[in-house]
Every structure is written in structure tokens, then in C-alpha cells.
Amino acid sequence: MVETLTRDLAPVSVSVEDESHLHAGHSGWRESGETHFRIDVVSAAFAGKSRVERHRIVNATLADAFGRGLHALAIKARAPGE
């Protein structure tokens, strides 16, 4: 995910944390993990965009990961200086 976000959004900073263990037994959770992630990304691509637009950009960027079993993202997406 970090590689994809870096390639597509050229972020100033990006962090991705697997929080799957916190969702054990919830919808979409798998014992193997990698289903629920927290993302914090700062990119100029988000300048002038609403929170919903920013989340849509991140979700679209990671569409392939959703196809491989990603279930949910907690997203913090900011433009530089925010």
C-alpha cells in the first residue's frame, strides 16, 4: 500500500498501520489479517479537495488492494501545511 500511495500521490509523508487484530470477529476480518488499516497521508493531491473527495482518491488508489481482501480503511488525508 505504501508503494502504491507513494507512486500515485507523491506524498510528503505516508504511514500505513495494520489494525486487523483490533477487528477480530467483525465483518470482513480474516484470521490471516491485512483486512483493516489506518492510513495517514499528506499530499499536494489533496489541496482544495473536501474530506470526501480525499477519501475517494485514497480508495480509488487502493482499489486493487480491496480486490485482494482489504476490507476497511481509516483515512487521514491532508494537504501539506494542514
The predicted model scores a pTM of 0.82
Query: Residue 5 pLDDT more than 80?
Result: yes
Give the phi and the psi of residue 20 in degrees, each rounded to 5. -55, -40
Residue 28 has pLDDT above 60, yes or no: no
**pLDDT of 7-21, one tens digit each?**
999 999 999 998 776
Number of residues written out for the chain: 82
Superfamily of domain 2-78: BolA-like (3.30.300.90)
Residue 66 is predicted with a pLDDT of: 82
| Beta carbons of 14 and 48 less than 8 angstroms apart | no
- Are 79 and 47 in contact by the 8 Å Cβ rule? The answer is yes
Q: Where are the domains of the chain?
A: 2-78
Per-residue pLDDT for 48 more than 70? yes
Neighbour-count burial of 77, counting CB atoms closer than 10 A to its CB (0-12 exposed, 13-18 middle, 19+ buried): buried
Residue 21 pLDDT: 62
The residue ranking higher by pLDDT, 59 or 20, is: 59
